[in-house]
Amino acid sequence: MPTLTGFPRADGRKGIRNVVAVAYLVECAHFVAHEVTLAFRGEPVHLVGFPGCYPNAYADKVMRRLLTHPNVGAVLLVSLGCESFDKRGLEAEVAASGRPVYTLTIQERGGTRKTLNEGIEWVRWALAELDTQPRVPMRWDELVVATVCGGSDGTSGITANPAVGRAFDTLIARGAACIFEETGELVGCEFHMQRRAATPELGDEIVRCVAKAARYYETLGHGSFAPGNADGGLTTQEEKSLGAYAKSGDSPISGLIKPGDIPPTGGLYLLDVVPDGEVRFGFPNISDNAEIVELIACGAHLTLFTTGRGSVVGSAISPVIKVCANPDTYDRLADDMDVNAGRILRGDATLDQVGAEIVALVHDVGHGRETASEALGHREFILTYKAFEPIGPSCLPVRQATRAMPPLSSTRATP
């Protein structure tokens, strides 16, 4: 089996990209941080950030995970100065991970122009530093692969999603950790998933977690069903769910994690994206990229994105491989797609063939091959307010036997 290559990090993980992340810590610093990245068009300088001025433990955890993600090599923090984000804690976390990190506070630096110039100078230095780092061999069991679907139609659940499921089964057999998500899109699949759980206790947790999602969406009055889904032939939330569920393949479910939790071993993991407690900050994930960001916060090196109607998004930090379910959509949006799973519908390929094609592409992208969205320059990013309780004791039955999740240094207790 061919091996992978990656950039070694101090925590033992390896990255398949070596990105300089420029992070704004409040919307008021967004423009300046964005201007810094514009000076490096075509280079691996990615913009991430959190827009809110009020503190949030979830956003704090996700930002710490993102900026110590194995695909990130160096970090520039851009602060306005009066926001509540714990920038010194974040800076210390990144520094402790062995990465170069620099914080620019606009109010102290003397405004937009001075901050911008200093930021550009630092990123130029960081890129030169990262340029000297060689790739080293990487094992499949060091790889974390995520999957999401967006712009689903009736073809998603019969071509791209089951093909990704086949790819997941192969990747898991090679030792990789694979993550599927959006419990709100798994309403109706809870008892199917319960039967696949590694332990009965984990199965019960999964059923509770989907019930929580159904309650949450009921309060909001909407599921994750968009009008385009119906145009594409999907009629109900549970029909969409079953199609989405096909992405998970046939492997046993090893654990249930929440945003920022890193799978402790290889195997299949379900990411619970629906907040705990009463409905507070609105919709759990307001768009597909919010889900992708959470998967990256769980350590995903790359994301398999299935689409029927035709999404064009990529992501900051981790590459997105787009698997197009609908052959007509592929014909219209071929430049944005990596895999044409719609061939299955026309009788030109089998699910197994497309699954093997996805695994081969994961290998190549792991070696540095650009995905379609990377080549086009897509680097979408969004992070909003949420609230989670830590996962329960039954959620990771395999944890004891294996490597521990890299700990976060003390995160401020915030609402």
Partner 1 sequence: MTPATDARLLLLNPADNCLVACCALVAGETLLIDGEPVTLPRPVGMAHKLARRALAVGDKVLRYGAVIGSVQRPIARGEHIHTDNLGSDYLPTYTLQDGSKYVLTSHD
Residue ranges binding partner 1 (CB under 8 A): 153-155, 157-158, 187-189, 192, 214, 217-218, 221-223, 225, 227, 230-233, 235-239, 242-243, 246, 308, 326, 328, 345-346
CB of residue 202 to partner 1, shortest distance in Å: 21
Which helix or strand (DSSP H or E) is residue 104 part of?
strand 101-105
The answer to whether the beta carbons of residues 166 and 32 sit under 8 Å apart is: no
CB of residue 218 to partner 1, shortest distance in Å: 7
Neighbours of 323 (CB within 10 A): 30
Separation of alpha carbons 263 and 254, rounded Å:
9
> Is beta strand 19-24 parallel, antiparallel or unpaired with respect to 72-79?
parallel
Expressed in percent and rounded to 5, the helix, strand and coil fractions of the chain are 40, 15, 40
Q: Which is nearer to partner 1, 85 or 217 (CB)?
A: 217
Neighbours of 384 (CB within 10 A): 19
CB of residue 311 to partner 1, shortest distance in Å: 16
Q: Which is nearer to partner 1, 157 or 397 (CB)?
A: 157
Q: Which is nearer to partner 1, 222 or 412 (CB)?
A: 222
CB of residue 81 to partner 1, shortest distance in Å: 41
CB of residue 273 to partner 1, shortest distance in Å: 16
Q: Which is nearer to partner 1, 85 or 225 (CB)?
A: 225
Q: Which is nearer to partner 1, 236 or 414 (CB)?
A: 236
Separation of alpha carbons 258 and 179, rounded Å:
11
Nearest to 292 by CA among 328, 320, 326, 263: 320
CB of residue 391 to partner 1, shortest distance in Å: 25
Q: Which is nearer to partner 1, 3 or 219 (CB)?
A: 219
Q: Which is nearer to partner 1, 244 or 317 (CB)?
A: 244
CB of residue 165 to partner 1, shortest distance in Å: 12
CB of residue 343 to partner 1, shortest distance in Å: 12
Q: Which is nearer to partner 1, 236 or 287 (CB)?
A: 236
CA distances from 357 to 167, 265, 347, 349 (A): 8, 25, 16, 11
HSE-CB for 216 with a 13 A CA cutoff:
28
Strand partners, 304: 147, 321
Sheet of 136-138, strand order = 14-15, 4-8, 136-138
Separation of alpha carbons 77 and 34, rounded Å:
12
